[in-house]
Amino acid sequence: MKFPVEARLKDGTPVRLVLADRQDVEPLRRLYRVIVEEGTSYPHDRVPDNEEFLEYWFRGKSTVAAYLWDRVGEPDMLGAFYLKPNWPGRARQVANAGFIVAPKWRNKGLGWLLGATMLEYAKGLGYRSVIFNLVFSENQAARHLWKKLGFSELGVIPGAVRQNDGTYQDAVIMFRSLL
Ligand SMILES: CC(C)(COP(=O)(O)OP(=O)(O)OC[C@H]1O[C@@H](n2cnc3c(N)ncnc32)[C@H](O)[C@@H]1OP(=O)(O)O)[C@@H](O)C(=O)NCCC(=O)NCCS
């Protein structure tokens, strides 16, 4: 898999996917803050501090960021994913990944592009499969997208996620073989 990846969204917008570097830390932090405030897809219930953010998104991970093709490293990051082993040692060939697309860039095919890129990248890195541990059951866009990319739903974790109103929603575990 070679980066940068250049592609067009459904509406023709040209984008560039790059392997994340120091310049991408602040734009990604800004984007992740929006996702945490939405509160509908990731477990964080407050914006993580610097250490936790770096640990979650960068350390020991392959992180990829999407920008408008001529705006790489500028504040307006369109989306990103991280890729890492889900477990150590004998199970390290099962990958885990996390995705975000900025609200105003959704439903233009960027999630699909990031997902397809992750699958090819993961295969090239020697992973044998990918697992998503905690897809919020009400996150229909994500469940639809992952099924479209060949994932199946392995099971449900009942009441895994506390919502703002104090009630709980289920989470789904999704899996795709790369063999
Ligand atoms: C999930 C996410 C990454 C998708 O990104 P995206 O750029 O909008 O993805 P795409 O445009 O490639 O595809 C979205 C698909 O979901 C569909 N969709 C959107 N909202 C939907 C809904 N409420 N119910 C069902 N399908 C929906 C779209 O129609 C599209 O499918 P199609 O291409 O077959 O028409 C994005 O919504 C996001 O960042 N959400 C917040 C973070 C998140 O949920 N991350 C994943 C955690 S598992």
Total-model pTM: 0.97
Write the single-letter amino acid at 21: D
Report the percentage of the chain scoring pLDDT > 90: 99
Q: Give a yes or no: residue 171 inside a domain.
A: no
User: Which atom of ligand 1 approaches the CA of 132 most closely?
Assistant: 48
104: left (phi over 0), alpha (psi -120 to 50) or beta: alpha
Neighbouring CB atoms inside 10 A of 105's CB total 20
Q: CA 118, CA 1: separation in Å to the nearest integer? A: 10
pLDDT at 125: 97
Q: What is the pLDDT at residue 27?
A: 97
pLDDT tens string 65-100:
999 999 999 999 999 999 999 999 999 999 999 999
Q: Is the pLDDT reported for residue 1 higher than 90?
A: no
Give the residue numbers spanning the domain of 98. 5-128
Distance (Å, rounded) from C-alpha 34 to C-alpha 144?
22
Residue 65 is predicted with a pLDDT of 98
Residue 18 · residue 64 · CB < 8 Å: yes
List pocket residues of ligand 1, CB cut-off 6 Å: 35, 41, 99-101, 106-112, 132, 135, 139-142, 144-145, 148
> Could you tell me which of 126, 122, 79, 124 has the C-alpha nearest to residue 97?
122
pLDDT band at residue 63 using 50, 70 and 90 as cut-offs: very high
Cα–ligand 1 centroid distance for 141 (angstroms):
4
User: Is 11 part of any domain?
Assistant: yes
CATH code, domain carrying 80 = 3.40.630.30
Count of structural domains within the chain: 1
Mutate which of 101, 140, 146 to test ligand 1's pocket (most atoms within 8 Å of Cβ)? 101
Closest-CA residue, ligand 1 atom 7, reads: 111
Q: Domain for residue 157, yes or no? A: no
pLDDT > 90? residue 44: yes
Q: Report the nearest atom of ligand 1 relative to the CA of 105.
A: 7
Q: Is residue 72 part of a domain?
A: yes
* Mean pLDDT score, 113-137: 98
pLDDT of residue 8: 98
Q: Does the pLDDT at position 126 exceed 90?
A: yes
The pLDDT, as a whole number, for residue 153 is 98
**Nearest C-alpha to atom 27 of ligand 1 is from which residue?**
141
pLDDT (average), residues 105-112? 98
Question: Domain for residue 166, yes or no?
Answer: no
Q: Whose alpha carbon is nearest atom 29 of ligand 1?
A: 107
Cα–Cα separations (whole angstroms), residue 12 to 69, 108, 110, 118, 139: 12, 9, 11, 21, 26
Q: Is 81 within the bounds of a domain?
A: yes
Q: Would residue 109 count as lying in a domain?
A: yes
Distances (CA, A) of 173 to 84, 158, 176: 16, 11, 11
Predicted pLDDT at 155: 98
The tens digit of pLDDT for each residue in 142-173 reads: 999 999 999 999 999 999 999 999 999 999 99
Residue 93 lies in a domain: yes
